Structures are given as structure tokens and as C-alpha cells.
């Protein structure tokens, strides 16, 4: 038994000791998750994200059912046109539509408020008074933001599956490689796509967490994170600087298309995860260096 498991005693009775690190970390994480998912702003963001696949599905439905070639009425990409013939494509399409702007915006809001929000209302200093190291606090904050990113991606996917089931026929999914998947396996692929999207957003979460340590104004940190995502996407769209594209976080966001092949191709997705881990390492270290050297006065 370690000394942390023991309770010191005195002549007048036992002396309470500080809670063990694992217990304290668990309670801190539980409190952080309750805070993140309890904010009205974050709940509203999840609700808005859920509306995206609903709007897409209703628009396709109102445009007309599947025509002779199995596609919906009107013009549009084949991926969107496939919705009318198979409702499972609503989830895939919604993830594609929300990934460039709406999902990064949701993560930017959660990340920007992680540390700056605590500092703005004066609770950051109080949190550091208890026996919590700044490293542990930063890690818990990062996990909270990543958890919100996972929830955001799965909200889009689940809402897409439900509205697709309600408005369109459901059947085997035709893959990009030409084969087909039964409905059950296709739903698993939807969740794998959502998981990959959430993993990609973790890199942006690290950038936002670093920005959140630089200011006591949450809106500023949110704006910096969201603008960074937009600027990187613009750079990723410029062919003249294609040499730097593999090092840009957003260049790998849409590589989940390889999950719609049989067999699944993991090469690009694995490289995307490695790039994301590099961003997490770099900006996580910057956030740690900033927070651990910062004079917290509020």
C-alpha cells in the first residue's frame, strides 16, 4: 500500500488527506464534461448541427423522389443525388457539408471557452488552489473539448441516419469501389466516418486550447480558432502551394472517403491521423508552456 492510501492520525483523531490523483482527475473530468455539455451555447450548437441533415433531406424530398436512374430531381453532385435512392447517404452528405465550416465552428466555440472562459469569470485561479496541477487541468480541458467534437460529429451522423430512414428507402449501399454493403455494415461505416471526422477535429481543438490560454476573452479565442481553420482551408485550396498541402490539417479531413471502399484503404487516413497527432503535440506543448508559466490573477 502506498503512502497516498494512508490517512494520517493525530492524538485528537484522524487528519483528512488530499484525494488520490486518479480520483481527483476523474472528478475533475466529470465536472468538466458536465460543464461543457451543460452550457446552453453548446447545446444550441448541437441542435443546429442536427438540423443540417434534416434540411438536406427535406430539400431533396421536396425536390422530388428518385427518378428513373435512382437519383433525386434537380442537379447536383452524384453523392447528394444518391440520397433519394438510399437514405443512408444523408449521413455521409451531412458530414461532408458540415466539415468545412459548421463542425470546426462548434469545436472553436468549445475550445476557445475552455481556459479563457474560466479566467473571464474568475474561476481559473480557484481551480488551481485545489491540489490540481496545471498540466492535469489542461489535459482535462482538452479531453472535454475533444468529447464535444465527438458528440458534434455523431450528432450529425445520427440525425442523418434518422431523417434518412424517415424520408427515404434504406438499402444496401453502393461503395466508391463499385461493390455494395448491407445496411448493417453501412451503418457501421457511417459511425466510423463520424469517428474519423472527430479525430481530425482534435487537431483544431489543440489549436483552440492554445488560443484559449493566450487571453481571458473567450470570444477572442473562439474567433482566432475559427479564423485559423478558414485560413488553412483557403491555403489548402490554392494549387500553387501544393507542396505544403500535406502538412495542413484540413488537407486530410475528407479522406474518410476511403472508408467507402471495399476493402477499406487506410493509408491516407493513417497519415491524416499522424498529422493530427503532430498538431496536437505542437499546440498542446505550446498551451502547456503558456499555462504553466502564466501568472493567473483571475
Any idea of the CA torsion for 209, 135, 280, 94, to the nearest 10 degrees?
Answer: -50
What average pLDDT score do residues 61-69 get?
Answer: 62
Q: Which of 140, 142, 137 is nearest to 126 (CA)?
A: 137
Give the count of beta carbons closer than 10 Å to the beta carbon of residue 237. Answer: 11
**164-174 pLDDT, tens digit each:** 999 999 999 88
pLDDT, residue 126, reads 63
Q: How confident is the model at residue 24 (pLDDT cuts 50, 70, 90)?
A: confident
Cβ contact 25:136 at 8 Å: yes
Determine the Cα–Cα distance for residues 59 and 178; give it in Å rounded to an integer.
Answer: 27
Measured on CA atoms in the order 204, 209, 210, 216, is the torsion positive or negative? positive
Of 12 and 269, the one with more pLDDT: 269
Asked whether the predicted pLDDT for residue 100 surpasses 80, the reply is yes
| Angle formed at CA 40 by CA 155 and CA 54, multiple of 5 degrees | 30
Region 84-102 average pLDDT: 91
Domain limits, the chain? 19-293
Is residue 89 classed exposed, middle or buried when 0-12, 13-18 and 19+ CB atoms within 10 A define those classes? Answer: buried
What whole-number distance in Å separates Cα of residue 202 and Cα of residue 146?
A: 6
- List of E strands, the chain: 9-10, 13-14, 173-174, 180-181
Residue 240 has a pLDDT of 95
pLDDT in tens, 200-247: 999 999 999 999 999 889 999 999 999 999 999 999 999 999 999 999
* Mean pLDDT comparison of 5-14, 22-31, 127-136, highest-scoring range: 22-31
Query: Pick the residue with more confidence: 48 or 118?
Result: 48
- How far apart CA 18 and CA 63 sit, in angstroms, is 63
Say what percent of the chain tops pLDDT 90. Answer: 62
Interatomic CA distance for residues 99 and 101, integer angstroms: 6
Radius of gyration over every alpha carbon of the chain, rounded to an integer in angstroms: 23
Confidence of residue 132 (pLDDT cuts 50, 70, 90): low
Residues 1-16: tens digit of each pLDDT:
333 333 333 344 444 4
> 198 is written with which cell numbers?
472527430
Give the pLDDT score at 10. Answer: 38
Dmax of the chain from CA atoms?
89
Mean pLDDT of 41-49: 96
Distance in angstroms between the alpha carbons of the first and the last residue of the chain: 39
- Does the pLDDT at position 118 exceed 90? no
Question: Which of 44-53, 127-136, 267-276, 282-291 has the least mean pLDDT?
Answer: 127-136
Amino acid at each position: 500500500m502506498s503512502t497516498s492510501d494512508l490517512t494520517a492520525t493525530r492524538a485528537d483523531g484522524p487528519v483528512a488527506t488530499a484525494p488520490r490523483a486518479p480520483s481527483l482527475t476523474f472528478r475533475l473530468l466529470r465536472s468538466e464534461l458536465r460543464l461543457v455539455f451543460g452550457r446552453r451555447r453548446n447545446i444550441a450548437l448541437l441542435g443546429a448541427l442536427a438540423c443540417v441533415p434534416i434540411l438536406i433531406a427535406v430539400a431533396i424530398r421536396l425536390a422530388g423522389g428518385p427518378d428513373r436512374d435512382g437519383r433525386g430531381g434537380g442537379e447536383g453532385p452524384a453523392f447528394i443525388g444518391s440520397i433519394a435512392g438510399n437514405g443512408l447517404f444523408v449521413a455521409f452528405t451531412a458530414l461532408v457539408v458540415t466539415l468545412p465550416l459548421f463542425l470546426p465552428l462548434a469545436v472553436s466555440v468549445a475550445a476557445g471557452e475552455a481556459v479563457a472562459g474560466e479566467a473571464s469569470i474568475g474561476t481559473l485561479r480557484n481551480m488551481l488552489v485545489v491540489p490540481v496541477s496545471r498540466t492535469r487541468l489542461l489535459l482535462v480541458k482538452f479531453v472535454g473539448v475533444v468529447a464535444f467534437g465527438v458528440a458534434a460529429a455523431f450528432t450529425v451522423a445520427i440525425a442523418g441516419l434518422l431523417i434518412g430512414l424517415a424520408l427515404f428507402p434504406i438499402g444496401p449501399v453502393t461503395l466508391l469501389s463499385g461493390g455494395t454493403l448491407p445496411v448493417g455494415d453501412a451503418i457501421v461505416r457511417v459511425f466510423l466516418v463520424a469517428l474519423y471526422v472527430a479525430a481530425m477535429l482534435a487537431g483544431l481543438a489543440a489549436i483552440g486550447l492554445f488560443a484559449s490560454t493566450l487571453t481571458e476573452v473567450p470570444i477572442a479565442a473562439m474567433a482566432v480558432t475559427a479564423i485559423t481553420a478558414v485560413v488553412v482551408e483557403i491555403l489548402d485550396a490554392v494549387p500553387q502551394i501544393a507542396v505544403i498541402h500535406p502538412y495542413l490539417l484540413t488537407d486530410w479531413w475528407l479522406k474518410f472517403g476511403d472508408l467507402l471502399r471495399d476493402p477499406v484503404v487506410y493509408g491516407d487516413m493513417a497519415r491524416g491521423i499522424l498529422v493530427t497527432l503532430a498538431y496536437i503535440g505542437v499546440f498542446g506543448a505550446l498551451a502547456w508552456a503558456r499555462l504553466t508559466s502564466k501568472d493567473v490573477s483571475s
